Amino acid sequence: MSVTVVGSLNEDVLVTVDRLPGRGETVVGSAVRTAPGGKGANQAAAAGRLGGGVAMVGRVGADPAGDRQRAALVAVGVDVDRLLATPGELTGTATIPVEADGGENLIVVVPGANGVLTPADVDVAEVRRATVVLLQLETPLETVLAAAGAAGGIVVLNPAPPQPLPAELLGLVDVLVPNEHELVRLAGAAEGERSPAELARLARGLGAGSVVVTLGARGALLVPAEGNALLQAPPAVQPVDTTGAGDCFCGALAQFLARSAGPAEAVRYAVAAAASSTTGAGARGALPDDGTVQALLPRLPRAVPVG
């Protein structure tokens, strides 16, 4: 049983603000710090913290930020043999203002070395042989497509940040994991409040296998290829910072699917893990271990069918 994550690694610059700035506005922050981030690396770190058998495929710069990424992944047991240092490119960066109260954030990414991850880089045994291959969209689309094509196991795609997806890629994906905003963008629909049933209809129209829509404080919606959708609410927690909660969800989902769990069970586990991850600062500040998630599971409400 194994999980291989193909994706991005960024040095996060986390700025604490009273409220997020509007367009053209300047706000004054109260604190700044850096931490290893990137959707791919966050997902690998989450999966690694929850269990063994996790590998990361990606590119960093030949710089101190790249060294910090490598060390942070090794510390949670992730295999970094396919994490390549890239002379002439800097490790990707992400600037992230985070609201002091409630932890809402926004993110600006400069890809750096993530932008030169090639199809040849992902044509490796770690991708071909993994039980689950977990992908996002912070590396070139042709590389994401190559990884999905090379994968021999379950392909999970977190379409973040969102962009139009070729039918060829959607056809290779077994489980698509957008948040509500990404689902709406992928479906070409207008932004707005939607009920779980309306979200399930949008998800079914995408042409992917199963879809799992992450809904923040409302939990997650499992929309299987056939049968009823299921809404899984989270346990009550006091969020400090929601940065990377979706990444923890994806890492936990992949780790639990790799253990041959059914989709509803895996979504329940991932909802508990993601809720727990919001109780500390930064994308990896409170990544739970398996014992912590198992202890939270009895506090989750039962999932409800959505018509």
Which residues of this chain interact with ligand RIB, rule CB under 6 A? 8, 10, 12, 37-39, 42, 94, 107, 109, 138, 243-244, 246-247, 283
Measured distance CA(179)–CA(220) in Å, rounded: 9
Angle ∠(228,234,235) on CA atoms, nearest 5: 140
Nearer of residues 96 and 293 to ligand RIB, judged by Cβ: 96
- The CB-of-237 to ligand RIB minimum distance in angstroms stands at 18
- The CB-of-247 to ligand RIB minimum distance in angstroms stands at 5
Residue 148 · residue 135 · CB < 8 Å: yes
- The CB-of-177 to ligand RIB minimum distance in angstroms stands at 12
User: 247 an active-site residue?
Assistant: yes
Question: Tokens 């890809």 sit at which residue?
Answer: 111
Amino acid at 258: A
Alpha helices in the chain (DSSP H): 39-50, 64-75, 119-122, 125-128, 141-150, 167-172, 180-187, 196-204, 245-258, 263-277, 290-296
Residue 211 · residue 178 · CB < 8 Å: yes
Catalytic residue (choose from 12, 79, 121, 247): 247
Q: State the catalytic residues.
A: 247
